[in-house]
Each structure stands twice: as C-alpha cells, then as structure tokens.
C-alpha cells in the first residue's frame, strides 16, 4: 500500500511540513487536520475554508478514504451493524457498530486476516494477508460515524487480527484517535484485546496509557490452552499473568480476561476452580463468552445453563465475572465470519 498517498496517516506535524514546503502557512495544516479528523469529510471540496488551489494540490497527491464500505448488515434482533470494508489493494475486513444505552461502541480490525491460529476462530482460517495501517483503523471508526451520524465513544480492538502482532500501527492509531485535535475519544473508552503476546504486554504497560487491556485466556492451564490456541506454545499462562501484574502495577487499571466457553473443552467445574486460583486477588474482571459456532470449526458452545453455573462459581469465589451479551447473532458478528463468507462467495 502506498503510504505516501494516504493523508489520514499524517500526524499534524507531518501535515504542517507538507503544507509549509508547498508554500502555505502552517495554520492551513490545522484546518485540514480538523476537516479530516474531526469533521470527517470524505471529499476535498467539503473543506470550504481551504483555498481552492491548495485543495487541488492535495487532491492530486492524496486520497482521503483508505477504506470504503462494501456491505452493511444490520441485525434484526438487536442494534448491531456489521460492516465489510475494502482497502485500496482489495483486502476485506470487518468492523462492528453496537448501540448501547450509554453510547455507540465500535469493534475494529487490526489486521487483514490473522496468523495466531486459534482453533475456534474464523479470522485466522485464511492466515494473515497484511497489517492494517493506523489510518485504516481510523477509517473504520470514521466510516461508521459518518454512516450512522452517531458519535462513536467506545472502541474495542477485537475484530479481525492480533493487535499486538501489529503493535506500532495500533499504538499510532490509539494516539491519533484520542488526540484532542482529532476525534478526541477518551483513552478509558478504548480496549485492546490480545491472545497474550507477553513481551508486548510489557511494552504496552510502559506506554502508561489509560486504555483497558483484555486478555483472551480461554483456559485455566497451559495443557487445555494449547489444544485451542497455538500461541500457548510460545507464552505460558504464568508468563502472561506476570505481564498482566506488571501492567496493573504500572497503570493501576483492571485487566479483563476473556473466556469463551467451549462444550467439553474448558467449561467444567475443575476449569472454573482453576480459573479462581489463577485470578484470586488480582485486579481483574472475567468476561464469559458463549462460543459463536463457526461452520469450518468443530467446536460447540457450552449450554447457557452451564455458562451461568460457571459465572456463579466465579462470583461465589469473589472473582468479578459477567456473561457477555451475544449481539448480532443473525449477522455473523463473531470475528471473521462475515469476511470468510464474503471471500468464499467471491471465489477467493
């Protein structure tokens, strides 16, 4: 992808350099930055206070939208919409918009595909195509805000891809989307979810951001974890826990552990007991998730009664736990399912 032509990836300083090199005063850069990152225009001609000649220069050198919306599916059972978006080089990703009572939450992808290989996940079935740029992550948020007309106030980086396998661009995205000159989303309203790349958890802790860290744990011990997550062969649960404790010490922030319940794999009382001893005394919260069945994968979700028992067991043992509300069940809202269906139907 030709970064040079991608204006959304420019920081305000980079934009100022371009504008002043072209012989215009620096304040023009701020105006343009505001049109791009606050007013979210999709066309140069909407920048009404920017001189026509400068607009012409810019439109010759740059495009505004790195991703376009290809398809939108809206759930009939709740207020979830799933978007398929396409990049300039033909990559397909998914983003989800969820309207909660407290505002709009957007789930974005961080890579085109994924190479982590989790056995229950559709995103990884075709491997990794490439990383997304920070501007492509911004563009998912901007496209949704433009399309719905509703301000985005929560972002979860839990779509396709492993954010810590694309660390620098994800960091740049977080900095730009929380920038007071941009969309100005509160760091507290951002969650990054990782399958547990422990080294990167330390790096992320050292950034000292007020962003929530979520860990896809899905098992109380390494033996079970290895059967569903190949990454468990690289980092043990002990290493991940150590990194999480460091994150909590550095940021004072509660860590979320995601635990997808898979029938007969990780949903026994012994598993719940294992999880309790692992997390006891830690500043954390467990998010229990019913598995969204993926056609190509032969795992099934635990029964809802079983998930409720698991939740009760954790709560009784003083571990904060809630069951994540399943949203968009009718629109393939689990990671990578819609993209996979789209790629299959278009013969890829």
- Which residues are catalytic, by number? 94, 335
Tell me if 258 contacts ligand SAH by CB under 6 A.
yes
Task: Using DSSP bridges, classify how beta strands 190-194 and 152-157 pair: parallel, antiparallel or unpaired.
Answer: parallel
Tell me if 137 contacts ligand SAH by CB under 6 A.
no
62-101 positions binding ligand SAH, by CB under 6 A: none
Tell me if 267 contacts ligand SAH by CB under 6 A.
no
- The structure tokens listed for 221 are 């011990």
Site string for ligand SAH, 199-238 (x = CB under 6 A): -----------------x----------------------
Give residue 190's Cα distance to chain centre.
9
Tell me if 166 contacts ligand SAH by CB under 6 A.
no
User: What strand order describes the sheet that includes 284-290?
Assistant: 67-74, 80-87, 92-100, 103-107, 152-157, 190-194, 212-216, 255-261, 284-290, 321-323
State the Cα–Cα distance between residues 291 and 94, nearest whole angstrom.
19
Which residues, listed in sequence order, are joined to residue 152 by a DSSP beta bridge?
Answer: 104
Q: Which of 118, 152, 237, 286 binds ligand SAH (CB under 6 A)?
A: 118
Tell me if 111 contacts ligand SAH by CB under 6 A.
no
Question: Based on CB atoms, which residue is closest to ligand SAH, 145 or 292?
Answer: 292
CB of 62 to ligand SAH, least distance (A): 31
Question: Based on CB atoms, which residue is closest to ligand SAH, 30 or 297?
Answer: 297
With beta carbons less than 8 A apart as the criterion, state whether 317 and 284 touch. no
Q: What is the DSSP letter of 300?
A: -
Site string for ligand SAH, 311-340 (x = CB under 6 A): -----------------------xx-----
- The structure tokens listed for 113 are 């595909």
Using CB under 6 A, which of the segments 70-78, 115-123, 173-181, 312-320 binds ligand SAH?
115-123
Nearest to 291 by CA among 335, 343, 247, 342: 335
């Amino acid at each position: 992808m030709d970064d040079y032509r991608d204006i959304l990836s420019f920081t305000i300083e980079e934009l100022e350099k371009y504008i002043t090199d072209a012989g215009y005063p620096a304040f023009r850069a701020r105006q343009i930055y505001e049109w791009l990152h606050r007013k979210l225009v999709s066309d140069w001609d909407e920048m009404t206070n920017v001189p026509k000649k400068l607009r012409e220069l810019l439109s010759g050198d740059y495009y505004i939208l790195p991703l376009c919306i290809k398809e939108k599916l809206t759930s009939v059972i709740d207020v979830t919409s799933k978007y398929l978006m396409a990049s300039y080089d033909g990559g397909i990703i998914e983003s989800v918009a969820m309207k909660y009572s407290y505002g709009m939450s957007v789930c974005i992808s961080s890579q085109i595909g994924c190479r982590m290989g989790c056995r229950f996940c559709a995103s990884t079935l075709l491997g990794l195509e490439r990383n997304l740029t920070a501007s492509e992550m911004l563009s998912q948020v901007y496209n949704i805000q433009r399309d719905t007309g509703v301000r985005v106030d929560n972002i979860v980086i839990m779509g396709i891809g492993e954010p810590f396998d694309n660390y620098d661009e994800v960091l740049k995205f977080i900095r730009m989307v929380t920038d007071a000159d941009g969309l100005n989303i509160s760091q507290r309203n951002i969650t990054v979810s990782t399958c547990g790349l422990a080294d990167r958890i330390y790096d992320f802790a050292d950034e000292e951001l007020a962003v929530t860290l979520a860990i896809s744990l899905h098992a109380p011990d390494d033996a079970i974890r290895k059967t569903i997550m190949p990454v468990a062969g690289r980092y043990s649960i002990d290493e991940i826990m150590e990194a999480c404790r460091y994150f909590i010490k550095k940021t004072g922030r509660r860590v979320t552990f995601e635990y997808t319940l898979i029938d007969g794999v990780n949903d026994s009382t012994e598993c719940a007991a294992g999880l309790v001893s692992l997390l006891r005394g830690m500043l954390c919260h467990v998010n229990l998730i019913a598995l969204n069945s993926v056609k190509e994968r032969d795992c099934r979700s635990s029964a809802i009664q079983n998930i409720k028992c698991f939740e009760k067991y954790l709560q009784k043992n003083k571990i904060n736990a809630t069951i994540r509300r399943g949203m968009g069940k009718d629109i393939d809202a689990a990671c990578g399912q819609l993209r996979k269906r789209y790629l299959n139907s278009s013969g890829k």
